């Protein structure tokens, strides 16, 4: 089950149904139907809130666009995903894409983390970006 929540911001998520179908497709393609979606919560929050999560749980004292907590259990892909909407907006301007496209990128990025992709090294980042680009193209 995929759910979208607002922490303290007023935000209406666009294309909820289409996004849920798309993410199910991502998981099916990546796992060849060996795994399915359990509970994934996307929590949209402010800079202050994502900074607090980053500091409290990861000991990082900086802003980020997305933080993914992996709660996978057996063949179920599950997790909590905190998305800093202000940073997503700023990044959309930096990369000259729409806010919605950048938001979809961080959403699929987080699901790829739940599917055990990492982006700690340059090679991993290239692989992750390639998968993001591919899934954005089929949205």
User: Which CATH number characterizes residue 24's domain?
Assistant: 3.40.390.30
Domain interval for residue 76:
2-137
- Rounded CA-CA distance 70/79 in Å is 5
Find out whether 39 and 78 touch, Cβ atoms under 8 Å: yes
User: Radius of gyration (Cα) for the chain, nearest Å?
Assistant: 14
Average pLDDT value for the chain: 94
* Number of domains within the chain: 1
DSSP state of 45: E
Q: Is the pTM of this model over 0.85?
A: yes
DSSP state of 116: T
The mean pLDDT of 46-72, rounded to a whole number, is 93
Percent of the chain with pLDDT over 90: 85
């Amino acid at each position: 089950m995929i759910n979208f929540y607002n922490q303290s911001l007023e935000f209406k998520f666009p294309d909820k149904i289409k996004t849920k179908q798309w993410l199910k497709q991502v998981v099916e393609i990546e796992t060849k139907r060996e795994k399915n979606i359990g509970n994934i919560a996307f929590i949209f929050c402010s800079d202050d809130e994502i900074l607090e999560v980053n500091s409290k749980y990861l000991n990082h004292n900086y802003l980020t666009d997305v933080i993914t907590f992996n709660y996978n259990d057996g063949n179920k892909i599950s997790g909590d995903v905190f998305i800093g909407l202000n940073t997503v907006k700023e990044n959309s301007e930096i990369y000259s894409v729409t806010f919605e496209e950048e938001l979809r990128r961080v959403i699929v990025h987080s699901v790829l983390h739940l599917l055990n992709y990492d982006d700690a090294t340059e090679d991993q980042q290239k692989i992750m970006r390639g998968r993001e680009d591919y899934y954005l193209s089929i949205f």
